[in-house]
Amino acid sequence: MKTKDVIYMIYNENEQSVTSMGIEFIDFIHCLTVEPNNILLLASGYTGEDFHHGLRLEFVRKENLNDLYKENVYAYGDFCWVDFDEMISLDDLAPHEKAELLYLGHYKQPLRSPFFEKLNNKFVYLAHDDGWFNKIFYKDKNQYMDVLGRLVSNKLKPYQQNVQPLGQDIVEQLALFAKDGILVDLYRMIKSRNSIEIQFNIIGKMMDFDDVYNNMERHKAKSNSEYWLVYKKGEWTLQLKAKRS
């Protein structure tokens, strides 16, 4: 079993953030309906074509983003970035804004707001060992809903092509559950000729991802309910089932 076969996420609506395990950078990018304009790298091992001397940070222009997407960002250890609209905005940042960006990349939490008016960033992506610990801030809640709706169907592409995204009603229910920490178990997916069934459980909010991963069955057993995402005849349904022994 690999971490990409498991998704654990905590949705903090007030903070506009999702903390997760099992969601990689490329998963996130493939789930977006609109690609970032440009990316400012706050922490990474990437060396590209552009370096901002005022910030002393690498950045990636929109036309070069595909090169970044091909990188093994897990190997960087820390991988943190914000998107931004215009190149000139990097030159216009005040000293305190630069300090906040550097703090964000180093401590993986905002000093004040994770969103910068001059950058007009839609996201803040903060990861250590990408796919193991990721925290993403979303300026627009609907963009998180879009990502959540496509995440499971995209994860299933190695097993079955052309799986539709989750419906809006199911996405909203999952987001509600994710406030208390949900564990989606793709490893034990049940696949038949006519359907796909994926178990998920509400296991509580935990920041020790080693514990979540290594003791997954125990956490699932302790949860009060067992839910299943069922894909059949081109549609998803969410079902509450009696816990299986």
| Domain segments of the chain as ranges | 24-130, 157-241
Report whether pLDDT(115) > 90. yes
pTM beyond 0.85, yes or no: yes
* Sheet order of strands, 57-60 included: 50-52, 57-60, 38-43, 78-84, 123-128, 133-138, 17-21, 6-12, 182-191, 195-202, 226-232, 235-241
For residue range 118-174, what is the model confidence (pLDDT) as tens digits? 999 999 999 999 999 999 999 999 999 999 999 999 999 888 888 999 999 999 999
Amino acid 244: pLDDT = 55
For residue range 18-67, what is the model confidence (pLDDT) as tens digits? 999 999 999 999 999 989 999 999 999 999 889 999 999 999 999 999 99
For tokens 């910030």, what's the residue? 55
